[in-house]
Amino acid sequence: MVANKDITFSVRRGTVHAIVGENGAGKSTLMKILYGVQRPDEGTIKVDGQLVNLHSPSDAIAAGIGMVFQHFMLADNLTVLENVVLGAEKLHGIGDGARREIKRISDAYKLDVDADALVADLGVGARQRIEILKVLFRGAKTLILDEPTAVLVPQEVDELFDQLAELKDEGLTVLFISHKLDEVLKVADSITVIRRGTTIDTVDPKSVNARQLAELMVGSELPSPTTEESTVTDRVLLKLDNIALGSGTGRPVLDDISLTIHAGEVLGIAGVEGNGQAELVEVIMGMREPSSGEVFLGDIDISDWHVREIREAGVGYIPEDRHRHALLLEAPLWENRILGHQTEAPNVKGLLIDAAAAKADTERIVKDYDVRTPSIFVTAGSLSGGNQQKLIIGREMSHKPKVLIAAHPTRGVDVGAQSSIWDHIRDARREGLAVLLISADLDELIGLSDTIRVILRGKLSGEFDPDNVTAEDLGAAMTGAGEKEASR
Amino acid sequence: MKSLNVRRILMSLAAPVLALVVAFVVTSLVLVAVGDPVGEVWKTILAVPKPRQGVNIINAASVFYISAIAVAVGFRMNLFNIGVDGQYRVAVFAAAVFAGQGWLPGWLNIIVSILIAMVAGGLWASIAAYLKVKRGVSEVISTIMLNAIATGVVSWLLLKVADRKEGSNSIETKTIPDSSQLEGFKLIPGATNRVYTLLILAVLVGLLYWFVLGKTRFGFDLRATGRSETAAVASGVKVPRMVVTAMIASGALAGLVGMPLLFGQDHNYGTTFQSGLGFAGIGIALLGRNNAVGIAFGALLWAFLDVQSNALQIQAGVAQELVNIIQGVILFAVVIAYELIRRADKRIEQSRVASELAAQRRAAPATEGAPA
């Protein structure tokens, strides 16, 4: 396959081919081209030696290319069967024919999918298998998986890799996109490295190690998220006292959560997604009322404060879902720079928006945080994920927060940007910033945090010392397998 | 940056032009199908308006404009205030009753009546706001129902306060005193009729809308809520309060819709008072893309079609309701065209960003070291 003038690589049938590299204009654009969402300006794509012209996703599917997105596109209130046939009703009908086909695919590739289960009842791993099944159901022979492991815990990752091996054995081709180099090395048969929109090299995973691979990607010495000497002080900046949040019925979403973060401290929260992290953040930010408990900023009780007051008081917020909570995708960058700080300088003068000052400051953020954009007047939605994230982090850091609530600050961000984001967090920490870091990337947690705690079913575990904890220990605590050890 | 603006302007002009062309073609086909004189019809509609008609167009447009701005305030935050129709009816009735008493002299009477209209319209809209915020009732449903209720309530109250004249069938409120009737401007030479004095009101409303939405913190919050409610919440916007404020503001502006008519033409509120202005406003707001200037063009076009079609029956022997077909097709076409253009615009911008970044990269290796 040859896509675009700058990108050249070929994938053999029956292999897992990994693509690693920067986000920028590289990977996501390449994926869009392969899936027919975007048209290449030059170059050709060949499937099985045949030149194909991909104008739309349906062309891609017709050419046997299927895409498994990072964000699942499933309707919770429908069954697996209904989700799978949605949009592909003509293939095998919507009844028993489709059910038989799902069963056949599920058995053939050992996907273990029950056609009549309700999606809402299924876990993340199962949902991902449905996404894969959806693509196979439509007759794909080449699967593109975009960051498939981002949402999985280590144990689920292993299961996914077993399934990929199964697909490969059946003669399917898998394009695997990931930032996690050790995973790529484990699963891929060959690896193509992209940097700044150009293919750097295609390497054999047996001949490189993770460090060499990462250096190929960044093009320079590899950063690693290591905190130097401790900067933790004894000044408490954020304190949660017995926070609980009910879910209406059954198990509470947050159960008696107490934590303390000092100036200069990074408190990392590990956990499988959906164990209360999102709700915890929303309680701290004032977007949700806890059923009981208090939140203190310094020694002020902010439990009853509204989001705006909390942000004005110096709490920076990097939300987990930047599209939903941090950006106006259809608004230009400079308006997005105002968002979240509508009442603060330099964005406003009294009751009026100070567009000139906001624009000037956006230029500064774009420069300081290396946001790759042709101008500050393009819409936020036209930037790549990594650049959107850099803009958000630049915006939050510009207001000199005392406390930073950072949920997955480097998710979907390329290695280069990742290290610069880590640097910014470390610099701010040295100056006395208190950080609540929620991340699914255990290396990031271990590397950045002064203290790590694990959240499981709305409860916080005891403290882990990042210097002496392994990813496996955390993984066990995250799934509840090692509940005894977790309490230390 | 320059080229971007030029593209933006062309893109935003493309849709309405396309819609007009489609409307022209579809209407012609309808005329041909029923055997009406196509040429005659277009000659009548597209004729240069006489001075008197020019005045009528401006007058109708000023009323449409206020109505469309009232709708647009809601649209900008994804709030569909279908109830402008009911709101202006309640408001103009309240204002007419007050003004008719003549408790205050001249302009003071007018100004206080206008304020009363705004309060009445805002209060009527606040019912829908309350239902949405406290009870989760869709504002579309509640405002539609409130329109029906408004019609009923106003008719009933009108009977109570009606000032029945001898030998007249029409039922209307007490006519406002001469000192509070507005004569209008002689804006167009050669016209015997006059442009409403309260055209000023439409201009003020337009300026206010442009300023508040585009330049103030409140406007930013309102637009942010419309673009992404979740992001607005996370940025500190109190969305329920915003819903209430926007709805009441929309209703208060809706209250102004009938004012030019009340003080410049009818001088009382009765069964013959012009209806359906709220619905025209919805269409014009869509056509003008919620933009203060765009809406002005939309309002003028609507008024032009309305006024020009009056002569259809006499000149071409075609019912003037034909204009409804034209307006309907324009709306359909423009909504579709806007969506198509929005998508195309998004795609063009994404690929433009990608290609400009690629160009920057090609220039960059000299300083950053060539890729291996």
Residues B16 and B66 reside in one and the same domain:
no
Question: What's the rounded mean pLDDT across residues A157-186?
Answer: 83
Residues B93 and B144 reside in one and the same domain:
yes
Q: What are B350's two structure tokens?
A: 């994404």
Of the partner residues B228, B349, B357, the one whose CB lies closest to the CB of residue A25: B357
Residues B86 and B212 reside in one and the same domain:
yes
Question: What's the rounded mean pLDDT across residues B111-119?
Answer: 96
Measured between alpha carbons, how far is A106 from A157 in angstroms, rounded to an integer?
A: 18
- Cβ burial of B317 (10 Å; 0-12, 13-18, 19+) is exposed
Residues B260 and B306 reside in one and the same domain:
yes
Question: What's the rounded mean pLDDT across residues B175-194?
Answer: 87
Best interface-test mutation with A: which of B7, B339, B345, B361 has the largest number of A CBs within 10 A?
Answer: B361
Q: Which pLDDT score, from 0 to 100, does residue A197 have?
A: 66
- Cβ burial of A107 (10 Å; 0-12, 13-18, 19+) is exposed
Lowest mean pLDDT of A32-41, A312-321, A402-411, B38-47, name the range. Answer: A32-41
Report whether B287 contacts B16 (CB < 8 A): yes
In sequence order, what are the beta bridge partners of A79? Answer: A118
Residues B288 and B326 reside in one and the same domain:
no
Neighbours of B135 (CB within 10 A): 8
Summarised one tens digit per residue, pLDDT across range B72-102 is 999 999 999 999 999 999 999 999 999 999 8
- The answer on pLDDT for A86 being more than 50 is yes
Residue scoring higher pLDDT (B226 or A10) = B226
Q: Which pLDDT score, from 0 to 100, does residue B350 have?
A: 80
Report whether B249 contacts B71 (CB < 8 A): no
- The answer on pLDDT for A479 being more than 90 is no
Q: Which pLDDT score, from 0 to 100, does residue B252 have?
A: 97
Measured between alpha carbons, how far is A384 from B286 in angstroms, rounded to an integer?
A: 31
Of the partner residues A25, A311, A328, the one whose CB lies closest to the CB of residue B227: A328
Model confidence band, residue A326 (pLDDT cutoffs 50, 70, 90): very high
Domain annotation covers residue B365:
no
Report whether B269 contacts B257 (CB < 8 A): no
Pick among 3.30.310.50, 3.10.180.10, 3.40.50.2300, 3.40.50.300: CATH of A236-486: 3.40.50.300
Measured between alpha carbons, how far is A24 from A34 in angstroms, rounded to an integer?
A: 17
Residue A170 host element (H or E) = none
Beta strand A348-349 with A352-353 is antiparallel
Q: Which pLDDT score, from 0 to 100, does residue B200 have?
A: 94
Q: Do B228 and A29 touch (CB under 8 A)?
A: no
Domain annotation covers residue B11:
yes
- Whichever domain contains B219, its CATH number is 1.10.3470
Model confidence band, residue B123 (pLDDT cutoffs 50, 70, 90): very high
Residues B288 and B148 reside in one and the same domain:
yes
- The answer on pLDDT for A112 being more than 80 is yes
- Asked if ipTM goes beyond 0.95, one says no
Q: What are A237's two structure tokens?
A: 């900046």
Query: Closest Cα partner for A315 from A404, A396, A378?
Result: A404
**B345: chain A residues, CB-CB within 8 Å:** none
CA-to-CA separations, A221 to A183, A211, A215, A217, A218, in angstroms, rounded: 20, 9, 6, 10, 7
Residues B24 and B86 reside in one and the same domain:
no
Residues B353 and B275 reside in one and the same domain:
no
Q: How much of chain B, in percent, has pLDDT values that exceed 70?
A: 94
Q: Do A352 and B346 touch (CB under 8 A)?
A: no
Residue type, B252: A
Measured between alpha carbons, how far is B97 from B102 in angstroms, rounded to an integer?
A: 9
Summarised one tens digit per residue, pLDDT across range A21-32 is 755 446 767 777
pTM: 0.77
Architecture of domain A2-218: 3-Layer(aba) Sandwich (3.40)
Q: Which pLDDT score, from 0 to 100, does residue A287 have?
A: 92
Measured between alpha carbons, how far is B150 from B139 in angstroms, rounded to an integer?
A: 15
**A376: chain B residues, CB-CB within 8 Å:** none
**A288: chain B residues, CB-CB within 8 Å:** none
Residues B25 and B142 reside in one and the same domain:
no
- The answer on pLDDT for A485 being more than 70 is no
Residues B345 and B293 reside in one and the same domain:
no
Residue scoring higher pLDDT (A15 or A284) = A284
Residues B303 and B338 reside in one and the same domain:
no
Residues B189 and B252 reside in one and the same domain:
yes
- The answer on pLDDT for B12 being more than 90 is no
**A214: chain B residues, CB-CB within 8 Å:** none
Domains A2-218 and A236-486 share a fold: yes
Lowest mean pLDDT of A147-161, A340-354, B106-120, name the range. Answer: A147-161
Average pLDDT, chain A: 83
**A25: chain B residues, CB-CB within 8 Å:** 354, 357-358, 361
Q: Do A25 and B358 touch (CB under 8 A)?
A: yes
Measured between alpha carbons, how far is A3 from B54 in angstroms, rounded to an integer?
A: 59
In sequence order, what are the beta bridge partners of A301? Answer: A296
Q: Which pLDDT score, from 0 to 100, does residue B2 have?
A: 47
Beta strand A236-245 with A292-297 is antiparallel
Domain ranges (residues) in chain A: 2-218, 236-486
Distance of residue A360 Cα from the nearest chain B Cα, in angstroms: 15
Q: Which pLDDT score, from 0 to 100, does residue A385 have?
A: 80
- The answer on pLDDT for B9 being more than 70 is yes
Question: What's the rounded mean pLDDT across residues A318-330?
Answer: 91
Summarised one tens digit per residue, pLDDT across range B286-328 is 999 899 999 999 999 999 999 998 888 888 888 888 888 899 9
- Supply the range of the domain harboring residue B330: 1-47+312-360
Size of the A and B interface in Cβ pairs below 8 Å: 129
Q: Which pLDDT score, from 0 to 100, does residue B131 have?
A: 96
Measured between alpha carbons, how far is A384 from B353 in angstroms, rounded to an integer?
A: 10
* DSSP three-state, residue A118: strand
Q: How many domains does chain B have?
A: 2
- The answer on pLDDT for B370 being more than 70 is no
Average pLDDT, chain B: 89
Q: Which pLDDT score, from 0 to 100, does residue A196 have?
A: 63
Helix boundaries (H) for A369-436: 385-398, 415-430
**A310: chain B residues, CB-CB within 8 Å:** 236
Lowest mean pLDDT of A42-51, A213-222, B152-161, name the range. Answer: A213-222
Q: Which pLDDT score, from 0 to 100, does residue A456 have?
A: 84
Domain annotation covers residue B371:
no
Model confidence band, residue A487 (pLDDT cutoffs 50, 70, 90): very low
Q: Do A219 and B369 touch (CB under 8 A)?
A: yes
Report whether A346 contacts A360 (CB < 8 A): yes
